């Protein structure tokens, strides 16, 4: 190739790189434009999403604020309803405790003398048992401390002759009100008496020797001579009363000076445990007719009053629990069987587990074979291990 031809090709060779650069720059510009477009779209979408999120947040905050207001309104309504329920419960309790005019309970001196004469004629006679019950206490099988409630002295029990699960509580040693809990669970769980029904009795009770038996409350009233009042728990009325035919009564238990008559129930029926100045060293026992409150029989027992803290009857046998002036471990160390099957010397010496103080009441439940005790403000259940008297 000649020199002049080379000179002609030089401009062409120089123009080729410029054309490639131009195409490359156009390509880059197109890509940048596309990227800017996508960035603009992302920016628009981000702004829209931010706006929607902000609107959603405001909506949620509004809903939460509304829900909070509704919650406060519901809480106010619930508190108002609770207040109305409490007021209604108090009104119901008030209506339940309002008794009709009680019958006039006057001391008929002629009737009292007649009852006393009849009882003395049958004093210490051999008792004819009504049932074939022949059990006696072998030992305390278990002890359960339920709670601490009320005063240091008091009484709690169930209906000894019925199937009711209600708990009846006499707080203290003198009052006119009885607390009634529907079941053991309510009595155990609730420390206050707000959930308990209240029975306001027409006459105040004294001591801790009262009894619930067959849908009736038998309690002790003192107005001059001691009276046994029979109170119907269903219609809240006094259905009968009787002056206890014992002269110059003294506290039946040496360690419980507030109790003059201890009413007890067992498989045989209703009993009264008492003491008089005539036989002031020992405890006396009487069998009561639960319908008429008449004394059927009376016994002078060999069980001493000194250091006695409580007593109950099991299958026609009086069991007396003793302690010391400085409370220690209680024990049943005197048993008097009215049928003569079991002598005091043959009876087992039964010890109760060591507790807090001294028993102010001990109520035997023949249906459950256990004793409901009140010990220095603690409510205790003793489950008894039984055996036949002939095995002693």
Ordered alpha helix ranges (H), the chain: 3-97, 109-121, 184-189
- Provide the 8-state DSSP code for 7: H
Alpha-carbon span 159 to 167, nearest angstrom: 8
Residues ≥6 apart with Cβ < 8 Å to 274: 244, 246, 249, 252, 260, 261, 262, 283, 284, 285, 286
The highest-confidence range among 69-73, 93-97, 173-177, by mean pLDDT, is: 173-177
Q: Does residue 7 have a pLDDT over 60? A: no
Alpha-carbon span 212 to 209, nearest angstrom: 10
pLDDT digits (tens, 9 = 90+) for 312-340: 999 999 999 998 877 678 899 899 999 88
pLDDT at position 319 is 95
pLDDT at position 89 is 59
Alpha-carbon span 124 to 93, nearest angstrom: 46
Phi, psi (rounded to 5 degrees) for 344: -55, -35
Q: Does residue 104 have a pLDDT over 50? A: no
* Percent residues over pLDDT 90 in the chain: 47
Q: Does residue 101 have a pLDDT over 50? A: no
The predicted model gives 282-311 an average pLDDT of 94
pLDDT digits (tens, 9 = 90+) for 164-200: 899 999 999 999 999 999 999 889 887 667 778 999 9
The highest-confidence range among 94-103, 114-123, 241-250, 268-277, by mean pLDDT, is: 268-277
pLDDT at position 339 is 86
241-271 b/e (C-beta count within 10 Å ≥ 16 → b): bbbbbbeebbbbbbbbeebbbbbbbbbbbbb
- Provide the 8-state DSSP code for 256: B
pLDDT at position 298 is 93
pLDDT digits (tens, 9 = 90+) for 195-216: 789 999 999 999 999 999 999 9
pLDDT at position 41 is 87
Q: pTM for this structure?
A: 0.69
pLDDT at position 167 is 94
Q: To the nearest 10°, the Cα dihedral for 197, 203, 209, 214?
A: -60
Alpha-carbon span 211 to 224, nearest angstrom: 21
Largest CA distance in the chain: 172
Alpha-carbon span 384 to 392, nearest angstrom: 16
**Pick from 244, 274, 248, 255: which is nearest to 360 by CA?**
255
Q: Does residue 259 have a pLDDT over 50? A: yes
The predicted model gives 344-373 an average pLDDT of 86
pLDDT at position 105 is 45
pLDDT at position 8 is 54
178 - beta bridge partners?
A: 199
pLDDT at position 392 is 45
Residues ≥6 apart with Cβ < 8 Å to 106: none
Which H or E element spans position 301?
strand 295-304
Start-to-end Cα distance in the chain: 149
Return the HEC string of 143-205.
EEEEEECCCCCEEEECCCCCCCCCEEEEECCEEEEEEEECCHHHHHHCCCCCCCEEEEEEEEE
């Amino acid at each position: 190739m000649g020199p002049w031809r080379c000179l002609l090709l030089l401009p062409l060779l120089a123009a080729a790189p410029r054309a490639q650069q131009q195409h490359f720059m156009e390509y880059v510009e197109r890509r940048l434009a596309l990227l800017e477009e996508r960035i603009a779209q992302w920016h628009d979408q981000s702004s829209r999403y931010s706006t929607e999120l902000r609107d959603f947040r405001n909506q949620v905050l509004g809903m939460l604020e509304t829900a909070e207001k509704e919650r406060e309104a519901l809480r106010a309504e619930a508190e108002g309803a609770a207040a109305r329920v409490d007021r209604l419960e108090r009104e119901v309790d008030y209506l339940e405790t309002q008794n009709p005019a009680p019958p006039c309970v006057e001391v008929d001196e002629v009737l009292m003398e007649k009852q006393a004469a009849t009882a003395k004629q049958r004093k210490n006679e051999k008792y004819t048992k009504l049932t074939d019950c022949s059990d006696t206490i072998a030992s305390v099988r278990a002890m359960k401390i339920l709670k601490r409630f009320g005063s240091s002295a008091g009484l709690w029990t169930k209906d000894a002759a019925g199937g009711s699960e209600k708990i009846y509580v006499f707080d203290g040693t003198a009052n006119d009100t009885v607390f009634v809990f529907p079941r053991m669970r309510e009595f155990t769980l609730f420390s206050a008496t707000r959930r308990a029904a209240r029975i306001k009795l027409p006459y105040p009770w004294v001591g801790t020797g009262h009894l619930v038996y067959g849908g009736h409350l038998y309690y002790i009233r003192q107005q001059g001579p001691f009276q046994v009042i029979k109170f119907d728990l269903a219609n809240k009325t006094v259905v009968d009363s009787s002056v206890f035919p014992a002269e110059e009564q003294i506290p039946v238990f040496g360690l419980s000076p507030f109790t003059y008559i201890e009413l007890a129930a067992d498989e045989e029926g209703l009993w009264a445990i008492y003491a008089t100045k005539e036989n002031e060293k020992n405890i006396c026992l009487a069998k009561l007719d639960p319908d008429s409150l008449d004394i059927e029989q009376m016994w002078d027992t060999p069980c001493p009053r000194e250091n006695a803290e409580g007593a109950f009857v099991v299958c026609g046998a009086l069991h007396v629990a003793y302690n010391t002036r400085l409370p220690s471990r209680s024990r049943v160390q005197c048993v008097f069987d009215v049928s003569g099957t079991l002598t005091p010397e043959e009876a087992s010496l039964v010890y109760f587990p060591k507790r807090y103080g001294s028993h102010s009441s001990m109520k035997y439940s023949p249906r459950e074979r256990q004793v409901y005790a009140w010990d220095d403000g603690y409510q205790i259940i003793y489950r008894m291990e039984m055996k036949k008297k002939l095995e002693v």
